[in-house]
Amino acid sequence: VRITSVRLQNIVPPAGRVQDAFEDVNRAIQDMNRKINEGRKAFNEQIPKARGDADRMIQTAEGYAARRVNTALGDVARYNAVLREYRRQPRLTRVRLYNELMEGLFAGQDKPNVIDSNFSNLLPLLNLNSASQGGQ
């Protein structure tokens, strides 16, 4: 004789302490299964999100690193180009760099005021007659 399956239906334990213990065990099993399902649900919600956030942060960091490296390489290439020109024509390169610096400083101004060391005061720089001539 071989038993292939056993199926229990409507198990009713005897009343009293046995029934209370049986119900406690059933509640514990149900609580355990509920906790397992809640844990799996939380895992399925949070872990993929955390992995996605981590991947996004890594890609952002790699992009930032690539930008910094490329900017540094560009700065080095510009510096080397200026250095080559400086070695060929130092005076001309100094004047050109100075002029480029001044253009950058005065780029946003309508009328830049330049103070010459030969002037004894600021009045020669300011055209005070232009306001009075405009009215005449």
* Domain range for 72: 17-80
Q: Is residue 30 part of a domain?
A: yes
Q: Is residue 114 part of a domain?
A: no
What burial letters (b/e) apply to 51-67, b meaning 16+ CB within 10 Å?
eeeeeeeeeeeeeeeee
Q: Is residue 113 part of a domain?
A: no
Grade residue 136 by pLDDT with cuts at 50, 70 and 90: very low
Q: Is residue 61 part of a domain?
A: yes
The pLDDT score that the predictor gives to residue 117 is: 67
Cα–Cα distance between 128 and 136 in angstroms, integer?
Answer: 14
Residue-wise pLDDT for 43-70, tens only, equals: 999 999 999 999 999 999 999 999 999 9
Sign, CA torsion 80/84/86/87: positive
Q: Is residue 39 part of a domain?
A: yes
As for how many domains the chain has, the answer is: 1
Poorest-confidence range of 3-7, 24-28, 106-110, 128-132?
128-132
Tokens 């020109």 found at: 85
